[in-house]
C-alpha cells in the first residue's frame, strides 16, 4: 500500500467543512445590513460592483439644484428634468444617501428626495426621485432583506409603471410623480433570484392624500439558495460538476459560476466532479450538506499540467525539472516540498519560475551548480501555492529514477549489440542486449534508455525478460542524442515481429508475451514510454505483458496490446502479481477461435492482491466475427481476494462482440468482473466502466458474495452496459453488496426467441445484506418476440433484514414481450427479510403487459416501505399499479408514500394485493388518479372512509384507523407527475397535508433530498421521496 503514495490520486476528493459564528449586535438597520452584505461578499463570491446611482428629477423649473451623495462625497448640479448619474462607484454593502445640498432658484423651489437612502445590493440604484413640483407626489416606501442577485421588479398596476429595485435595505420610490387623489396599487411582479426570495408587500394600495406615499413595505425572505462555485486554476478546458445526480454545471473560466437551479431551504445538495480539464486535477471545498443559505464552493483546479522529464521517467544527475502549472506559481512556497529527491552534497534544492503559457506558470527545480542528484528511485512531493495563496488541488508526487548506470539502445544504422551501450553514440540495437549487459543491478537503479524505433522482442530469448532493478525508458527522440523524450506518442515500439516457435506451447497460465517478469524481480523496476505489441501471428494464448510472481514492476505511460491468440489474449496477464499501472492504454488483443476470451487486464492470485490502477484506459479486445467469444476490460479470477480501493480514475471497457441470436448465444461483454475470490474487499469509485454490445452485456459482474463496495458515500462510478440479445445489466451481482452514488445506464435487449432482461442492478443469491443508496439508474428497453421480456431498475432476491434500498432515482424504459408475464418495474424483489425500501424516486416505464412500480413476492416479514414516490408505469393490455404485492405477501409496513397511477381504469389500483395476505400498516399514503385505492384478494377498496381508511362497499374498512388511517386521495400537484421525464418535487400548489405531515417515522431521518432532512426545520415530514418546506396549499 505504501507505494500508492508515490503518485497523485487524481480522483479522491477531500472535503473541508467551514463553520462561522456571527455574533448578534445591536445596530441600526442600515449598518446591520451593510455589515451582513460585506461579510457575505467575502464568503459568497457574488458580483459586488462597481454599481452606480441614477437620480430622476421631476418638476424642476429653476436652476442651480445641487444634489449630494454621501455628505458631499460627490455633488452634481441639475438645471432641468431628467435622469442624472453620480460617477462614484459603489459596491455591494455600501451605504448611500442622496440629499439636496442647494435648492433651485429663478424661480425658487423646494425639492425633496424620495428613495434616497439605503444599502447597495446587487445592481445599479435607479429607485431615487427628486420631486420639485408642489402639486405632485411620489409613491415609495422601504425594503428589507433583499439578497437576490437578480430580479426584483415592482409594478404599479394603476399606470403600469415598473421599478427595478437593487436596494438591500432602505428606501425606494417610483420615478413618476402623481396628482393628489390618484390611486396606486404596488405589488411584486418579479421575485428575486440567487437566492430565490419571496418578497411580500404591505400597504401596497391606496389613494394619495396630499403627501408622498412612504409607507409601502417590501419584506423579502429567502426560500431557496444558489450553489455558487468559484473556480481557481483552470488554464484551459472544461470542468463539469453535477449536483444531486442531475443538474450539470460546466465551467471553462476561473471565477464565479452558479448552478441554474436554486436549492430549497433545508434540502440537501451533493456535488460530484464528473469531468475535469485535460491534465488538471480538481477538488471541491465541500461536496454536500444541507442548504440554509447561499452555498459557496471553491473548485480548486490548480495543477501541474506537464512534467519535463516526464513523471515516472529518468532524471539525469545534473538535469533540471521543468514543471508547468495551470496558474502563476509562487516559487517561494515550493521550498517546503518534501520527499526523497535529494542531492549528493545536500546543498538546498533551487526553485525558480519562468513563463511558458501564463505568466510565471513554470517551476524550475535544480540542484545547485556544484551539486547533483543522488541516484536511486526518488520522489518529490510538491507543496506549492499559486500567487493567490491557493494550494495544489491534490498531492503531487513526482517519481524519478536517477540512474547509477545507463545503457543506450537505438534503432539507428550505427546501433549494434556489439557496441558497449555506454554512451548515446555507441548504442546497442536490442533492448534485451542492453539489459543483459548489466549482469544484474544490485543497487536497483540501472536504466536502459531507448530511442524511437521498432524493437523485436523475440530476437534474444523469444521475449524481453525484465531483470530486477533494470528499468526501461522509451520514446527518446531519434537523432536527439537522448536529450529529448516524448511519452505522449510512445514512439519506442516493442513488437513481436515473428511469433516464436516456443509460443506454440503457451498455456492459460504462461501465455506467449513480448515482455515477461518473474518473481526474481524484487526491486522497484519501471517500464515507461513504450508501445508494446504482442504477436499478430497467433499462439494458443497471447499477452502483451506477462507477470508471474512479482509485485515490483511499474508500468507508466505505455500502450500495451495483447496481440492474437487462439483461445485467449490479454493486454497484461498478472499471475500472483500486483499490477502497478499509471496512465497506460491497454488493449486485450484479438482472439480467433470460437469461444475464446480477450481481457484488457487479467489477474489471478493465491494471495490477496492490492493492485494500483490510476488513470488508465483498459479495454478488452475481441473479434466481432468470432462466435461465443468473451471480452472483458478487467477480470479477477483467483483463489484469494482482491482489494479494489486503489483503482481510481480509469476507464474500463469491453468490446462489441458477435451477438448473433442463433449462433453466438454465449458471447459476453463485461467492463469489470470478479469471477472468484470471496475475500475481495475495498471501495471501487471514480471510474468509468462499460460493457458494450453482445449477446450478454454487463457493466460490472461480481459472481460471488464479496465485501467490495461499488461507489462510496461521496463518489461513485459511471457504469454502462451495451445492447444485448438476452440480457443487459448495469451491475450483475451475486448476493448483497453496497452500491452507492453511481450513475448506471443500461442498453436495450432484443431477442427473437428467448427471455430478455434489461436491468440496472441485478442481485441473485441470498441471505446477505445489500445497501443501494443514492444511485441514478436509467434502463433501456427489452423486447422478446416469442417469450417474456423484463425491464427493471433493481431486481433481486434473498436480501436480509439489514438491507436498504434508499434515495435512488430510477427511470426505466419499455417492455415488449409476447408472454403475459412481460413486466416493467422500478424495483422487483422476492424472498426478503424486513428490509427498508425508502425515499426512492421511481418513474416506471411502459409494458406490453404488466406495469408495476414496485413489485414484491414471497415476503412474510414486516418489510418497510417508507416515503417513496412511485409511478405505476403504463400497460398496453394489462394491469398497472405503483405497488404490487404477490399472493402470500403479508406484514408489510407501508407509510408516507405517494402512489401515482397512470390510467385510472379497472382493474388498476394504487396498491394491488393479489392474495389474502394482511399488511401491518397502510397509512399516511397519497393515492392519486386511482379510483381503486387498494385491491386486496380481488376486493376493491375504492372509498376513502372516515379517518382516511380505504374502504369497500359501504365503507367496510381495510383495517383499523391506527394502522390504516390518515391516507389521502388527492392530486399532489408535483411539478409533473406524468410524462416522458417526470419531476416529483412538490410545488406551492401541493397540499400542506402532504408537505407538512405529522407522521414522523421514528429513526427515519433521511429523504431523497439527502440524509438528516427529516423531519424538516418546521417539525413536519413531507410525504413521498422529496422533503419540501416551502409554501403549500392549505
Count the alpha carbons within 13 Å of 418 in the hemisphere toward its beta carbon: 1
Q: Quote the pTM value.
A: 0.81
In the three-class reduction of DSSP (H, G, I as helix; E, B as strand; rest coil), residue 90 is classed as strand
Distances in whole angstroms, Cα of residue 728 to Cα of each of 112, 135, 357, 596, 625: 76, 80, 47, 21, 21
C-alpha cell at 13: 476528493
- Mean pLDDT of the 689-716 span: 94
Closest CA relative to residue 260, chosen from 209, 224, 287, 308? 224
Q: What is the pLDDT of residues 918-972, one digit of tens each?
A: 999 999 999 999 999 999 988 999 999 999 999 998 899 999 999 999 999 999 9
The 8-class DSSP code of residue 375 comes to: S
> Is residue 28 pLDDT above 70, yes or no?
no
- Mean pLDDT of the 753-761 span: 94
- Mean pLDDT of the 1016-1025 span: 92
Separation of alpha carbons 172 and 162, rounded Å: 12
Separation of alpha carbons 511 and 546, rounded Å: 7
- Predicted local distance difference test score (pLDDT) of residue 530: 97
pLDDT band at 268 (very low <50, low <70, confident <90, very high): confident
> Is residue 855 pLDDT above 50, yes or no?
yes
- Is residue 695 within 8 A of residue 657, CB to CB? The reply is yes
User: For the chain, first and last CA: distance in Å?
Assistant: 59
> Is residue 202 pLDDT above 70, yes or no?
yes
Q: What is the pLDDT of residues 528-584, one digit of tens each?
A: 999 999 988 899 999 999 999 999 999 999 999 999 999 999 999 999 999 999 999
Better-predicted residue by pLDDT, 27 or 141: 141
Contacts of 28 (CB under 8 A, 6+ apart): none
- Mean pLDDT of the 257-266 span: 86
Q: What is the pLDDT of residues 278-319, one digit of tens each?
A: 999 999 999 888 888 889 999 999 999 999 998 999 999 999
Separation of alpha carbons 508 and 417, rounded Å: 33
- Predicted local distance difference test score (pLDDT) of residue 163: 96
For the chain, what is the mean pLDDT? 91
- Its sign, for the CA torsion 523, 528, 530, 535, is positive
Q: What percent of the chain has pLDDT over 70?
A: 95
pLDDT band at 196 (very low <50, low <70, confident <90, very high): confident
Cα 93 to its chain centre, rounded Å, is 35
> Is residue 237 pLDDT above 70, yes or no?
yes
Q: Where are the beta strands (DSSP E) in 10-138?
A: 53-58, 65-69, 74-78, 82-85, 95-102, 112-114, 117-120, 125-131, 136-137
The C-alpha cell 530476437 sits at 459
Lowest mean pLDDT among 45-59, 412-426, 472-486, 720-734: 45-59
- DSSP string of 317-365? TTPPEEEEESS-EEGGGGGG-EES--BSS-PPPEEEEE-SSSTT-EEEE
> Is residue 42 pLDDT above 50, yes or no?
no
Q: What is the pLDDT of residues 55-79, one digit of tens each?
A: 999 999 999 999 999 999 999 999 9
Separation of alpha carbons 296 and 45, rounded Å: 7
User: φ and ψ at 995, to 5 degrees?
Assistant: -85, -15
Residue 931 CB burial class (10 angstroms; 0-12, 13-18, ≥19): middle
> Is residue 814 pLDDT above 50, yes or no?
yes
- DSSP string of 114-151? ES-EEEE-SS-EEEEEEE--TTEE-EEEEEE----SB-
> Is residue 7 pLDDT above 50, yes or no?
no
> Is residue 27 pLDDT above 80, yes or no?
no
Q: Where are the beta strands (DSSP E) in 512-557?
A: 512-518, 525-528, 530-533, 539-548, 553-556
- Predicted local distance difference test score (pLDDT) of residue 488: 83
- Predicted local distance difference test score (pLDDT) of residue 661: 86
- Predicted local distance difference test score (pLDDT) of residue 47: 58
pLDDT band at 20 (very low <50, low <70, confident <90, very high): very low
> Is residue 33 pLDDT above 60, yes or no?
no
Better-predicted residue by pLDDT, 374 or 26: 374
Helices vs strands, H then E, count in the chain = 4, 96
Lowest mean pLDDT among 808-822, 900-914, 961-975, 1001-1015: 1001-1015
Amino acid at each position: 500500500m505504501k507505494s500508492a503514495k508515490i503518485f497523485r490520486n487524481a480522483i479522491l476528493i477531500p472535503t473541508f467543512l467551514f463553520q462561522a459564528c456571527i455574533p448578534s449586535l445591536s445596530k441600526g438597520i442600515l449598518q446591520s445590513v451593510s455589515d451582513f452584505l460585506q461579510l457575505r461578499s467575502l464568503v459568497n463570491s457574488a458580483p459586488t460592483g462597481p454599481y452606480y446611482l441614477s437620480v430622476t428629477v421631476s418638476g424642476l423649473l429653476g436652476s442651480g439644484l445641487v444634489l449630494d451623495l454621501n455628505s458631499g462625497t460627490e455633488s452634481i448640479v441639475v438645471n432641468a428634468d431628467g435622469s442624472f448619474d453620480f460617477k462614484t462607484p459603489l459596491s455591494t454593502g455600501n451605504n448611500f444617501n442622496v440629499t439636496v445640498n442647494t435648492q433651485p432658484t429663478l424661480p425658487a423651489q423646494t425639492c425633496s428626495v424620495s428613495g434616497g437612502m439605503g444599502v447597495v445590493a446587487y445592481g445599479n440604484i435607479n429607485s431615487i426621485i427628486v420631486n420639485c413640483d408642489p402639486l405632485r407626489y411620489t409613491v415609495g416606501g422601504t425594503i428589507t432583506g433583499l439578497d437576490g442577485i437578480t430580479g426584483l421588479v415592482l409594478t404599479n398596476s394603476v399606470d403600469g409603471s415598473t421599478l427595478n429595485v437593487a436596494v438591500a435595505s432602505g428606501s425606494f420610490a417610483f420615478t413618476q410623480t402623481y396628482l393628489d387623489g390618484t390611486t396606486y396599487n404596488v405589488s411584486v411582479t418579479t421575485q428575486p433570484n440567487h437566492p430565490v426570495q419571496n418578497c411580500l408587500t404591505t400597504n401596497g394600495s391606496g389613494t394619495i392624500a396630499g403627501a408622498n406615499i412612504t409607507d409601502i413595505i417590501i419584506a423579502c425572505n429567502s426560500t431557496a439558495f444558489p450553489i455558487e462555485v468559484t473556480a481557481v486554476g483552470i488554464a484551459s478546458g472544461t470542468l463539469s460538476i453535477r449536483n444531486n445526480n442531475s443538474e450539470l454545471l460546466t465551467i471553462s473560466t476561473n471565477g464565479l459560476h452558479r448552478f441554474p437551479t436554486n436549492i430549497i431551504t433545508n434540502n440537501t445538495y451533493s456535488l460530484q466532479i464528473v469531468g475535469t480539464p485535460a491534465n488538471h486535477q480538481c477538488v471541491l471545498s465541500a461536496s454536500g450538506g444541507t442548504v440554509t443559505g447561499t452555498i459557496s464552493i471553491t473548485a480548486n483546479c490548480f495543477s501541474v499540467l506537464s512534467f519535463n522529464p516526464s513523471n515516472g521517467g529518468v532524471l539525469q544527475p545534473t538535469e533540471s525539472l521543468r514543471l508547468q502549472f495551470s496558474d502563476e506559481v509562487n516559487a517561494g512556497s515550493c521550498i517546503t516540498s518534501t520527499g526523497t529527491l535529494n542531492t549528493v552534497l545536500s546543498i538546498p534544492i533551487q526553485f525558480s519560475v519562468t513563463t511558458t503559457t501564463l505568466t510565471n506558470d513554470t517551476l524550475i527545480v535544480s540542484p545547485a551548480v556544484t551539486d547533483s542528484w543522488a541516484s536511486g528511485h526518488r520522489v518529490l512531493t510538491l507543496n506549492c501555492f499559486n500567487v493567490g495563496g491557493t494550494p495544489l488541488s491534490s498531492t503531487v508526487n513526482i517519481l524519478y529514477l536517477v540512474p547509477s548506470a545507463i545503457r543506450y539502445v537505438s534503432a539507428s544504422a550505427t546501433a549494434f549489440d556489439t557496441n558497449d551501450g555506454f554512451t548515446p553514440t555507441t548504442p546497442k540495437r536490442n533492448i534485451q542486449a542492453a539489459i543483459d549487459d548489466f549482469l544484474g543491478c544490485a543497487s536497483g537503479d540501472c536504466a536502459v534508455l531507448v530511442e524511437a524505433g521498432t524493437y523485436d522482442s523475440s530476437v534474444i530469448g523469444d521475449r524481453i525478460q525484465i531483470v530486477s532493478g533494470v528499468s526501461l525508458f522509451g520514446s527518446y527522440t531519434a537523432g536527439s542524442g537522448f536529450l529529448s523524450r516524448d511519452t505522449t506518442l510512445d514512439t519506442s515500439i516493442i513488437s513481436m515481429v515473428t511469433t516464436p516457435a516456443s509460443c506454440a506451447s503457451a498455456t492459460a497460465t504462461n501465455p506467449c508475451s513480448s515482455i515477461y517478469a518473474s518473481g526474481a524481480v524484487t526491486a522497484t523496476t519501471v517500464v515507461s514510454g513504450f508501445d508494446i505489441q504482442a504477436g499478430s501471428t497467433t499462439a494458443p494464448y497471447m499477452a502483451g505483458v506477462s507477470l508471474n510472481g512479482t509485485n515490483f514492476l511499474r508500468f507508466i505511460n505505455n500502450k500495451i496490446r495483447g496481440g492474437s491468440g487462439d483461445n485467449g489474449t490479454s493486454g497484461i496477464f498478472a499471475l500472483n502479481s500486483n499490477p502497478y499501472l499509471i496512465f497506460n492504454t491497454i488493449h486485450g488483443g484479438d482472439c480467433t477461435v470460437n469461444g475464446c476470451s480477450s481481457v484488457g487486464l487479467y489477474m489471478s492470485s493465491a494471495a490477496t492482491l492490492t493492485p494500483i490502477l490510476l488513470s488508465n484506459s483498459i479495454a478488452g479486445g475481441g473479434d466481432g466475427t468470432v462466435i461465443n467469444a468473451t471480452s472483458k476490460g478487467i477480470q479477477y479470477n483467483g483463489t484469494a481476494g482482491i482489494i479494489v480501493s486503489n483503482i481510481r480514475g480509469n476507464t474500463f471497457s469491453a468490446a462489441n462482440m458477435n451477438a448473433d441470436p442463433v449462433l453466438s448465444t454465449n458471447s459476453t461483454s463485461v467492463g469489470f468482473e470478479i469471477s472468484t475470490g470471496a475475500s475481495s474487499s475495498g471501495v471501487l469509485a471514480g471510474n468509468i466502466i462499460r460493457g458494450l454490445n453482445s449477446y450478454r452485456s454487463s457493466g460490472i459482474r461480481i459472481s460471488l458474495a464479496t465485501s467490495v463496495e461499488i461507489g462510496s458515500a461521496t463518489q461513485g462510478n459511471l457504469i454502462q452496459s451495451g445492447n444485448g440479445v438476452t440480457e443487459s445489466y448495469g451491475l450483475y451481482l451475486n448476493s448483497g453488496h453496497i452500491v452507492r452514488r453511481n450513475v448506471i445506464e443500461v442498453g436495450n435487449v432484443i431477442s427473437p426467441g428467448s427471455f430478455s432482461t434489461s436491468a440496472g442492478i441485478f442481485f441473485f443469491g441470498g441471505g446477505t445484506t445489500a445497501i443501494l443508496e443514492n444511485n441514478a439508474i436509467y434502463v433501456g428497453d427489452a423486447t422478446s418476440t416469442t417469450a417474456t421480456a423484463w425491464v427493471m431498475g433493481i431486481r433481486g432476491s434473498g436480501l436480509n433484514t439489514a438491507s436498504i434500498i434508499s434515495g435512488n432515482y430510477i427511470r426505466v424504459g419499455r417492455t415488449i414481450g409476447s408472454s403475459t408475464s412481460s413486466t416493467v418495474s422500478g424495483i422487483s424483489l422476492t424472498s426478503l427479510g424486513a428490509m427498508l425500501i425508502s425515499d426512492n424516486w421511481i418513474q416506471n416505464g411502459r409494458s406490453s403487459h404488466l406495469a408495476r412500480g414496485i413489485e414484491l413476492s414471497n415476503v412474510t416479514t414486516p418489510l418497510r416501505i417508507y416515503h417513496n414516490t412511485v409511478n405505476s408505469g403504463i400497460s398496453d393490455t394489462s394491469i398497472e399499479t405503483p405497488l404490487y404485492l404477490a399472493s402470500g405477501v403479508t406484514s408489510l409496513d407501508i407509510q408516507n408514500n405517494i402512489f401515482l397511477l397512470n390510467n385510472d381504469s379497472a382493474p388498476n389500483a394504487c396498491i394491488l394485493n393479489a392474495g389474502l395476505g394482511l399488511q401491518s400498516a397502510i397509512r399516511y399514503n397519497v393515492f392519486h388518479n386511482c379510483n381503486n385505492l387498494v385491491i386486496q384478494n380481488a376486493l376493491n377498496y375504492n372509498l376513502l372512509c372516515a379517518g382516511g381508511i380505504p374502504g369497500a362497499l359501504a365503507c367496510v374498512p381495510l383495517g383499523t384507523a391506527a394502522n390504516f388511517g390518515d391516507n389521502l386521495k388527492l392530486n399532489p400537484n408535483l411539478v409533473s407527475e406524468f410524462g416522458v421525464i417526470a419531476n416529483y418535487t412538490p410545488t406551492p400548489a401541493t397540499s400542506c397535508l402532504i408537505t407538512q405531515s405529522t407522521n414522523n417515522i421514528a429513526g427515519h431521518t433521511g429523504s431523497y433530498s439527502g440524509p438528516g432532512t427529516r423531519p424538516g426545520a418546521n417539525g413536519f415530514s413531507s410525504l413521498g421521496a422529496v422533503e419540501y418546506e416551502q409554501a403549500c396549499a392549505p
